[in-house]
Structures are given as structure tokens and as C-alpha cells.
Structure 1
């Protein structure tokens, strides 16, 4: 039996960042991975899907004919697209391998990482049985970090065959662009892949939206904006539709959908893509053998230092990433992995603050979010003011000929007017959202932020003008452009 200071199961963003942080503190680390190095974050998730998104965006820009130039003979080959995506994934995997090989056992550094490829399960709270290609081995750790990530959620009653009925794990199994595709699920994953395939203009894309609103957790104006852009990009969005069944015919899939108003529709497609979220991979570890009890969502309950609570008490077992039950974001997993190791060596510092996480949604155009939205504040009964400012008035966006987009900022409805949240869409939204995250974390007021000089011409000037609108100081006024610039406020209804 091999013994280590730290045993990590899963080499995704949580596991890998934790392993490297362990080396920082001179720990002997064992990193166990049963699939691809980097986990879904590299091979079947964030990196590959965003590479495909960028390629689709490049193609859609090259295909434009409204900018004074035209690309002739423009074609796209699905196999070459997949090759480029795989190159990106391999590039990142080799970076990770190079790091691991730099800190292998027997080198001069005090800490090291030993990579073990195999499927692990608990034997007890300190020991794993790992099944590798060379046989079984037992690995013991003084500290344990569970970072097993998640997998696509299955759709009850549908047989996912990986060829005609697929999920995000099966994108690479497609031999060519489907002529017709139905995407089931209108959350971020579903809307992103609807954007990707509609950008390439090779596929007739249908999106099933049973909630009558894509991104149902976002404010209605943001949801409507995304839905309208998808439609403009060629996606047929089926609102208030519920999947009754999919019949597999020799040359197509026959889809039957029922709508809330009582009518039904039969649709022929070549591929059905299941995109209804992801679920934890925890069960394969047999956590009960370590005394761990999963929640009804299949995740683990952790404290602010990512320690798993057993009978309400923290111990030597930690969890990070999707298995922790927090937002399924690469950045969250990475920070949790680091925080867990820092707690192991009593250098945890401040607890993680999940209230102001930045989120990027890769649509056309991209959407970025940070902090609260209106639905969140209304649920909590927090009064607010909100300003909406269109990219039509931002000089940089005009110069880029890319004025579809907006900036929407919420502030507290009091004399401090603290920034509570922002939603933004358009060019570079993913770049400047973090600046607003800093403002929220610092508790900055509208007055303090407006002291800043913004460079010109920059897309970020929209932040300045959106905030000026709240103070009735904007250059372009809501009275002149009521559809593109507006302010509203909300407070809880008064008790009778």
C-alpha cells in the first residue's frame, strides 16, 4: 500500500489545482484519474466546447456580407473542426503532463505529484482501491480530496446511443454536421450548442424550451434577448414544448412534442442532443464506505473551507468542484481545490464568497453576468434601482459594427447606491465583467465608481454611461431613446 499526504480523485480544474497547490506546501500528492487528464473541463466540457464556439464564431464572421467584403468559396469540414478542437485539448493536457512530470517523485523538490490512472473507490475513510490497467492497488491518504466532477444528466425514457441521441460527451462521435438537430434543454449548455451549430449554418437547429423562457433563472429581459438572438441566428425555439417521445426510424428520428396550449407537433431530425444539465459523479466512489452521505442531488455538503461534513462535523475529507453542490463553474472548482489544500496546512485565509461569481455564456453575442439579478433581489425583498444601456451608443461597439448588446447594472435603492449586480452582452463582455465583480466585492458606491476615467474608445465605457444614467448624468438620455436606455426601480410591497 502506498501512503501520501494527500490523495485526490479527479484531475479536473479542482483536482489539478489542488495537486499543484499541495506541491507548493511540500506535500506528497497522489492524483488519481480514471478517464482523460483534465477531466470534463478539458475534454468534454469548457475547453472543447469553447474552442468549438470560437471556431463557429470565426466562421459566422467570415460568412458576413454586410461589411464591405465577401469571402468566396467558404466551406467548413466537420472532421477538420474536430481536429482543431482536439489540438486545443491536447495542448492543455500536455501542459498539465509537463507540470506533473516536473514534480514527480525522486526529484529534488520536497513535494511531488504521482499520477495514477485508474478507477477508484473507497475501502475506508483513508484508503482507496484503484483498478488500473496493470491490476489493483491500494492508496492511502492522510488527507482526501474528492474532485470527481459531473456527467451529463440522463433524460428518463430516452436511450442515449451516442450516435443519433447524444449528449455533450458524444460531440466527437458525429461524423459530419447533422442536417437537422433537436436540442432538448434551454439552459446555458443547450443555448450554447444551439449558438454553435447555428453559427456554422450547416444544420437546421431546433431548441426545445419547456419553460416558455430560455435561461429561466435569469431576468425576463435577458432571457428574451437571448431567445431573440437565437431566432435571428436561425434557431427555431419551441417554447412551452414538452417532449413526448422520440421514435427511431431508419433514416431519421421522429420527435413528438406537446405544447402547453394543447396542440402537438411531429418533427423529423437526424440528431437529438440532450442538454438538461449535469449530475455528480460521486456514487462511483462508494462514499458510504468512508462514512459519507450524499445529498438528494448526489453531492456532498461542505463548509467554507471545503471540508465534507460528517454528522455535522468537518474532518480530513474535502470536496471541490461539481461534487460540492456549488455552482458548476470551472473557476469555482479551481478555487475550491486550492482552498481545500490551504486548509489542510492551516493557511486557509478568508472563506470563499460565492455571492459574486462571474459567469460567461457563450452565445451570439456573448453574455456575462456577475452578482444579483432582479429575480434574486425580489426573492430576498431587497429594494433596488436598475439601469439598462444599449451598446448602440458606445463608440467602440459602433466602430466594430457590433452594436447588438447591452449593459444592465443594479444598485441598492438607498443613499449609498452600492453596486449589486450586472448583466452585459456584446463584444468583450467577458473581459470587463471582472472589473464590476471587483466593484461589488469592495462594496463601492455609484459615486466612487464614477470618479474613474474610462479609456476611449472602449466597450467598457458603457459601464460608465450605464451608471451615469442612474444618476441622471448620462450623455444620451432615456427620454430621447426610451427603447434603448431606461431606468426602473423596485421595492417590496408595503404590508397592509
Structure 2
């Protein structure tokens, strides 16, 4: 095999791409990976990881103010925003360096530069030293996505921010507008609100966290409002007037437009796939609304070309991208693979309180015409939650009444982003309510609520 001939070329070193490369190398493939900016992609450098580091700082700050509840004393409580950001960047940098180490460990050929498909089995990479042409029968597109910017709401980095600006803020917002209440918008709203910003969230849909179960969204909204957030649903920011030190937002609600001044705006209105400049159309690869169209095996329809992660469409989650990367690498290596089931991929939002879910909502199950049983268990009925001082929350489960299949699980409260995996495993193993009822959950744990919610669906809850 020639120097620039590989068994697999991966374009993009985010959580989909680098995982695909590692798995391919583990299976004995000669792998090259191309990255134009930084190892680990957006998730590790500007998404999942640094945001969680910042949210952890906000969580500790919040708990410090509650010291008296726990019999403790804390005086002169304050924060240093620059230090919070510095810690976040350090965490991201440490992990990005770890990805580079894994590339060397697995003998993966790394090329830093911009890649473009340049003919069947060919990838041309524009590097600092010029152009390098790589060849392979198997090419994996893993270029991810970026923040969507709407006309008139474009970020300027000064007072109108995307997530990148919000992770390295030029100032601490005093009066903050967050446009969009999906996971990204709510997480930043939660962070800055906890640090004292007067925070307003505008959501075009009829409720905050619109992809979640309606009952969970309502519970979370109530908590957000209790923390001082203002949530404006069924509303749209039509225009932003920018002036020195302020932004005037024109917000339409119910056909009526009002104006309000803010010093900072964060736009979190979705993402668009990074499909430009890759030579996709010329290669015959179909694109639909900035995302590459694939089948259940991530095949693009062009022989030997696959697409994984955010560029391949919803759900836009790092763990989905990673598993697609593993599946594609194994497919290329000749292994038998199973398509990933989107309904068994959990979504997690790290606001305060946390929100996590997997599978069908109650409304989706009803719309599908299914006869269902629904169970609920509140955090206030759990000993561990009370001991932690985290008695605010809810666990909800949805079952098929005829078969006992776990259709969906939805949670809001402390550490639910960790607990949801129990239900994910249950769905993967096609468990029924009987299996879950017979499972012994350790005591005292928050996970006991998962058991009680199942029991409640069948009228057998013990502790509530």
C-alpha cells in the first residue's frame, strides 16, 4: 500500500470521526483522519465538555449560597468569571490533547487541513505546506455542524453571541436574552442566570424544552421561573437593534410586537451541517437542509462514502455520532453490524434542574395509537434526594399496556443525566415492566425512583 493509500479516510476529528478512526485501527485498518481546526471537534472544544465545566462552577456557586441548609457557613460568596472560563478551557485543552495521544497510540495518520472529495476514492487536503492527496475505497464524512444564524440576528461577538462567544464571554451579562430554549439555549440561560444575570428566554414553540415530554417541560419551566428566569413561549425575536452597550429586541407574541433592551443576546436557534467546500454535490451526494442524506447504515448512496454524526442529521448528539462511527468502521472492516435505533438514544440537558429522556413521550405514544400505562415518581418521595437537599424532580415512564414494552422514560431533577442510562439499557435489551419490577435497586439511591416509577405505572408504587 502506497504512502497516501488507506483502508479508510475520516474527514473530521470530532466525537464521530475520531471514534471511527480508533475503531477502524483496532480492527487492523490503515486509517487517515483529516481535521481542519482542532482534535475533538466542537463537542470537546466548544460544546459538550467546556459547557459542563462552566455549569459545574455555577452548580457549586449555587450550593455555596445554600450552605446554611446543610449546617455550614460560607461568607463573602463570589465568583471570578475569567477563572471560571479559564478552568473550562483547561479541561477542554486537556481532553483535546488526549485525542492527539490516542491518534498516535493507534497509529492513525493525522492530516491537519481542509479536505475535499476530488474524485472517486480521492480526498485532497489543503494544508499549511500545500495540497496532499489521499486515496481510499472508504471515506467517512464526520464534519459536524455549527450554530444556525438567522437574518438580522447574526452574532457580532460583542453583544450578540453564539455558543462560542458565550464560552469565552467578553463581559458578564447583566440583562440577558437567550433566543431558543433547546438544550444549548437553556444550558447557557441556566449558567448565566445562576451567576446573577437577569435572564429572559424566548421560544417560538408553545413550551420551553419543546422536544421533551410536555409534563417534564412544564416541571422544568416552573423551576426556571422560581430561579428568576423569564420564559416567553410562542414568541419570536423579529429584529435586533444594536447600539453602544445595548441591544433592543423586537419580540412578537400573539401578533403583538414589543421592544425590550438587553446588554447581551445569545442566539441558540439550532445548527446547520458543515457541508460546504467538501465537493459533495460534485460527488453525487444528496444534501437535504444542510445535512447529508444517509440510510440506516450511514451510507450516502455513493459507493464507499459514509456520513456520521451531526452532518447526517438528527438527533444531534455526540454519543450518537460515536456509535455511528463504530458501526461504520466495523462495516468497512467486514463485521456484521446492527443499525442504531434513534428511539433508544438518550438526550440530556445539563441545566438546573437537569433533564434527561429516551424513547417516546406520552403524547407521541398516544399519537401512535398505542394503549399505554404511565408511571410517575417525585423526588420528594425518595430518601436520598431529601438527604441531598434535592427534593425537586420527577421520574416518568411510559409503557405499552399490551406488551409491557418500555416505550419511553423522562426525568427532571438532580443527576438524571446519569440515571437515564438505566432505562437506555432497558430499551436496548427490550425489557418489559416485569423485568424492571423484579430488578433490585440499591438503597439509598436516586435510582430507586426509576423502580418506583415503573411500579406506579401498574398501580404498585410503595413510597408515594
Output the TM-score relative to the length of structure 1: 0.89
**What is aligned with 1:128?**
123
Distance 1:294 1:263, change over 3 A: closer
For residues 125 and 460 of structure 2, the distance between their equivalents in structure 1, rounded to whole angstroms, comes to 64
- Aligned twin of 1:56: 58
Contact kept in structure 2, 1:366 and 1:430, CA below 8 Å: yes
Q: Give the aligned CA root-mean-square deviation in angstroms.
A: 1.6
1:413 and 1:336, CA in 2 relative to 1: closer, same or farther beyond 3 A?
same
- Structure 1 alignment gaps of length 5 or more: 104-111, 478-496
Deviation at 1:382, TM superposition (A): 1.4
Does residue 146 (structure 1) correspond to residue 148 (structure 2)? The answer is no
Identify the residue that residue 212 of structure 1 maps to in structure 2: 206
- Matched residue SS, 1:284: coil
Aligned residue in 1 for 2:249: 255
Are positions 1:293 and 2:291 aligned together?
no
| Equivalent residue in structure 2 for 1:155, among 144, 150, 154 | 150
Alpha-carbon shift at residue 349 of structure 1 (Å) = 2.5
Counterpart CA distance in 2 for 1:218 and 1:359 is 9
Q: CA deviation at 1:61?
A: 0.9
Give the secondary structure class of the aligned counterpart of 1:124. Answer: coil
Describe the SS at the equivalent of 1:13: coil
| Selected match of 1:469 from 443, 450, 456 | 456
* Number of residue pairs matched by the alignment: 461
**How far did residue 210 of structure 1 move?**
2.2
State the match for 1:70 in structure 2.
73
Contact 2:234 2:253 in 1 (8 A): yes
1:77-135 Cα shifts (integer Å, max 9, x gaps): 111111100111011011111112223xxxxxxxx311111111121132122111122
**Conserved? CA contact 1:128–1:138, under 8 Å:** yes
Structure 2: gaps of 5 or more residues: none
Kept in 1, the 8 Å contact 2:50–2:167? The answer is no
The counterpart of 1:239, out of the listed 233, 238, 242, is 233
1:418 to 2:411 alignment? no
Q: What is aligned with 1:108?
A: none
| Counterpart mapping for 1:46-445 below 5 A | 46-64=48-66, 65-103=68-106, 112-201=107-196, 203-260=197-254, 262-295=255-288, 297-310=289-302, 315-414=303-402, 416-445=403-432
Report the 3-state secondary structure (helix = DSSP H, G, I; strand = E; otherwise coil) of the residue aligned with 2:108.
strand
TM-score normalized by the length of structure 2: 0.95
How far off is 1:173 after superposition? 4.2
Secondary structure (helix, strand or coil) at the match of 2:157 reads coil
In the aligned structure 1, how far is the partner of 2:343 from the partner of 2:211? 15
Distance in structure 2 (CA, Å) of the matches to 1:24 and 1:142: 18
CA distance, structure 2, for counterparts of residue 396 and residue 374 of structure 1: 27
- CA displacement at 1:172 relative to structure 2: 4.1
The separation in 1 between residues aligned to 2:457 and 2:129, in whole angstroms, is 65
* CA distance, structure 2, for counterparts of residue 58 and residue 173 of structure 1: 20
Give yes or no for contact 1:79–1:175 (8 Å, CA) kept in 2. Answer: no
Matched position secondary structure for 1:258: strand
Q: Deviations over 1:112-160 (max 9, x none)?
A: 3111111111211321221111222222222100000000011122232
Deviating 4+ runs (over 3 angstroms): none
3-state SS, counterpart of residue 338 of structure 2: coil
Q: Does the 8 A contact of 2:143 with 2:274 survive in 1?
A: yes
Cα distance change of structure 1 residues 192 and 173 upon mapping to structure 2, 3 Å threshold: closer
Report the counterpart of residue 47 of structure 2 in structure 1.
45
Q: Distance in 2 between matches of 1:335 and 1:447?
A: 29
Contact 1:405 1:425 in 2 (8 A): yes
SS where residue 353 of structure 2 aligns?
A: coil
Could you say what secondary structure the match of 1:230 adopts? helix
User: Secondary structure of 1:288's match?
Assistant: coil
Q: 1:293 to 1:443 in 2, by over 3 A?
A: closer
Secondary structure of the residue aligned to 1:341 is helix
3-state SS of paired residue (1:265): strand
Whole-angstrom distance in 2 between the partners of 1:212 and 1:354: 24
Query: Does the 8 A contact of 1:218 with 1:375 survive in 2?
Result: no
Tell me the residue number matched to 1:485.
none
* Alpha-carbon distance in 1 for matches of 2:153, 2:421: 40
